[in-house]
Homo-oligomer: A and B are copies of this chain.
Amino acid sequence: MGIITLITDFGRQDEYVGLMKGVMLGIDPAARIIDLTHAIDPQDVAQAAFTVESAWRYFPEGTIHAVTVDPGVGTERAMLCLEFQRQVFLAPDNGVLSLLLDAEPRAALRRLDNSDYWRCAVSRTFHGRDVLAPVAAHLSRGVEASALGPAIDPARAVRIDDLKARLQANGELRGRIVHMDRFGNLITNIDAGALRSRGSSWEVAIGSGRIRGLSGTYAEAESGALLALIGSRGYLEIAVNSGRAMDFLSARRGDAVRVRPLPDKTGTRL
Contacts and interface: CB of A to CB of B under 8 A. Distances in A.
- Give the interface size bracket for A toward B: 35 or more
B32 A5 contact: no
A32 B34 contact: no
A51 B15 contact: yes
Interface string A33-47: 011111100110000
Contacts of A18: 5, 34-37, 55
Contacts of A32: 25, 29
A36 B10 CA distance: 13
A254 interface: no
A1 interface: yes
A217 interface: yes
Nearest to A42: B183
A178 B38 CA distance: 22
Interface string A1-21: 101010101111111111101
Interface in A63-100: 63, 71-75
A26 B59 contact: yes
Interface hub of A13, A36, A183 (most chain B Cβ within 10 A): A13
A182 to B, nearest CB: 3
B74 A218 contact: yes
A51 B217 CA distance: 27
A25 B219 contact: no
Contacts of A36: 15, 18-19
A106 to B, nearest CB: 26
A25 B3 contact: yes
Interface stretch (A122-130, A141-149, A258-266): A122-130
Interface hub of A29, A58, A220 (most chain B Cβ within 10 A): A58
A12 B12 contact: yes
A163 interface: no
A213 interface: no
Interchain residue pairs A-B with the least CB separation, the first 6: A74-B217, A11-B182, A13-B39, A18-B36, A126-B232, A26-B60
8 contacts: A3-B25, A11-B181, A14-B37, A14-B182, A19-B36, A19-B55, A74-B218, A74-B220
